[in-house]
């Protein structure tokens, strides 16, 4: 077993739409062959782990559902820790519904403990109105993620979960609790699932606001790939920076990971006295 592991974003890192990004297949299969622990992290709550694993398998990567960790699972794990007989009114689709049910969260239409918002294309105004009134009457608002938009398979953009959550926040005056990247709850739970300390964990992603920010906040070694939504010229717009920048996973292999891990300090330097 390796003494390090990886948390890996998906869209923009291993594929774009239905196309594999060059180098991704070889990199992921090398991790499998060398028994290096890793999880794919996604802020998309629509699909189940099996659905996502099947998509990746068809792209030639030898993964299983155990390699998948979604914001829907993060949300379900959190709600399950809040007490027994937790109930939720859900705006979302199959992946979210499945994760909640597998964690004994009952989905109801009346008097829920929580209103949970995930990805979806089947919202109606009546559903948003119902959610609004449930929140006003005491249900707590939970977001599977706060991504404002999402890429579509045809290269376009659609409103994301965060846009729907913002609407409900404005309508109710209540703030949502977010359980997707860069939430430390999701990022820490994922790291614990692969059984590693923070100093031995890589976070690979293409988005500064989620993957890189979340990883840096928890002390992971963050690798930004430029094969997705971030360009090299964008990086100076942020107060924080990734530890490593590469064009794509074609520029990464196990030898490079081991070199990066060897260089990473496993303790924080002492702070200067005030």
Q: Please give the C-alpha separations between residue 268 and each of 27, 216, 221, 222, 265, in angstroms, as whole numbers.
A: 30, 13, 13, 16, 7
Same domain, 86 and 169: yes
Based on the fold, state whether residues 156 and 202 are members of the same structural domain: no
Q: Do 128 and 154 sit in the same domain of this protein?
A: yes
- Per DSSP, the three-state class of 159 is strand
Taken in order 111, 113, 117, 118, the sign of the CA dihedral is negative
Residue 198 lies in a domain: yes
Residues 92 and 167 in one domain: yes
| 9 is a catalytic site residue | yes
Does residue 171 sit in the same domain as residue 186? no
Residues 213 and 191 in one domain: yes
Q: Is 216 left (phi over 0), alpha (psi -120 to 50) or beta?
A: alpha
Provide the phi-psi class of 144: left if phi over 0, else alpha when psi is between -120 and 50, else beta. Answer: alpha
Closest by Cα among 51, 100, 55, 107 to 80: 100
Q: Please check whether residues 172 and 207 belong to one and the same domain.
A: no
Same domain for 30 and 80, yes or no, is no
Residue range(s) defining the domain that contains residue 89: 76-178
pLDDT of residue 2: 75
Residue 151 belongs to some domain of the structure: yes
Residue 84 falls inside a structural domain: yes
In a domain, 235, yes or no: yes
172 with 191, same domain: the answer is no
Question: Which of 143, 178, 213 corresponds to the end of one domain?
Answer: 178
Number of domains forming the structure of the chain: 2
Catalytic residue among 9, 113, 206, 211: 9
End-to-end CA distance of the chain: 43
Q: Does residue 211 share a domain with residue 174?
A: no
Instruction: Note the pLDDT of residue 120.
Output: 87
Where among 136, 154, 178 does a domain terminate? 178
Is position 245 within any domain?
yes
The answer to the question of residue 171 being in a domain is yes
> Same domain for 138 and 157?
yes
pLDDT of residue 162: 95
Q: Is 89 contained in some domain? A: yes
> Of 178, 205, 230, at which residue does a domain stop?
178
Given 11, 178, 206, 211, the catalytic residue: 11
- What CATH number should be reported for the domain holding residue 159? 3.40.50.1000
Whether 61 is covered by a domain: the verdict is: no
112 and 150 belong to one structural domain? yes
Segment 155-207, tens digit of pLDDT:
678 889 999 999 999 999 999 999 999 999 999 999 999 999 999 999 999 99
Per-residue pLDDT of the chain (274 residues; tens, 9 = 90+): 578 999 999 999 999 888 999 999 999 999 999 999 999 999 999 999 999 999 999 999 999 999 999 999 999 999 999 999 999 999 999 999 999 999 999 999 999 999 999 998 888 999 999 999 999 999 999 999 999 987 776 767 888 999 999 999 999 999 999 999 999 999 999 999 999 999 999 999 999 999 999 999 999 999 999 999 899 999 999 999 999 999 999 999 999 999 999 886 655 555 555 5
């Amino acid at each position: 077993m390796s003494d390090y592991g990886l948390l890996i974003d998906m869209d923009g890192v291993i594929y774009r739409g239905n196309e594999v990004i060059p180098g991704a297949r070889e990199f992921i299969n090398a991790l499998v062959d060398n028994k290096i622990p890793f999880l794919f992290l996604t802020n998309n709550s629509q699909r189940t782990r099996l659905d996502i694993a099947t998509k990746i398998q068809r792209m030639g990567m030898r993964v299983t559902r155990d390699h998948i960790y979604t914001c829907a699972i993060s949300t379900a794990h959190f709600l399950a820790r809040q007490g027994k007989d937790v109930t939720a009114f859900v705006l979302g689709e199959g992946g979210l519904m499945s994760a909640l049910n597998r964690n004994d969260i009952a989905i109801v239409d009346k008097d829920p403990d929580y209103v949970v918002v995930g990805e979806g294309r089947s919202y109606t105004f009546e559903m948003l109105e119902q959610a609004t009134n449930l929140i006003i009457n005491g249900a707590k608002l939970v977001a599977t993620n706060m991504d404002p938009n999402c890429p579509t398979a045809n290269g376009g953009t659609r409103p994301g979960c965060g846009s729907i959550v913002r609407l409900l926040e404005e309508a109710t005056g209540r703030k949502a609790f977010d359980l997707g990247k860069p939430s430390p709850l999701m990022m820490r739970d994922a790291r614990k699932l692969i059984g590693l300390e923070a100093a031995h964990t890589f976070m690979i992603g293409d988005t500064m606001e989620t993957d890189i920010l979340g990883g840096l906040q928890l002390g992971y070694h963050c690798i930004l790939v430029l094969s997705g939504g971030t360009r090299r010229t964008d990086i100076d717009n942020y107060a924080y920076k990734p530890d490593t920048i590469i064009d794509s996973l074609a520029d990464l292999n196990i030898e490079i990971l081991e070199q990066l891990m060897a260089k990473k300090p496993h303790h924080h330097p002492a702070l200067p006295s005030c």
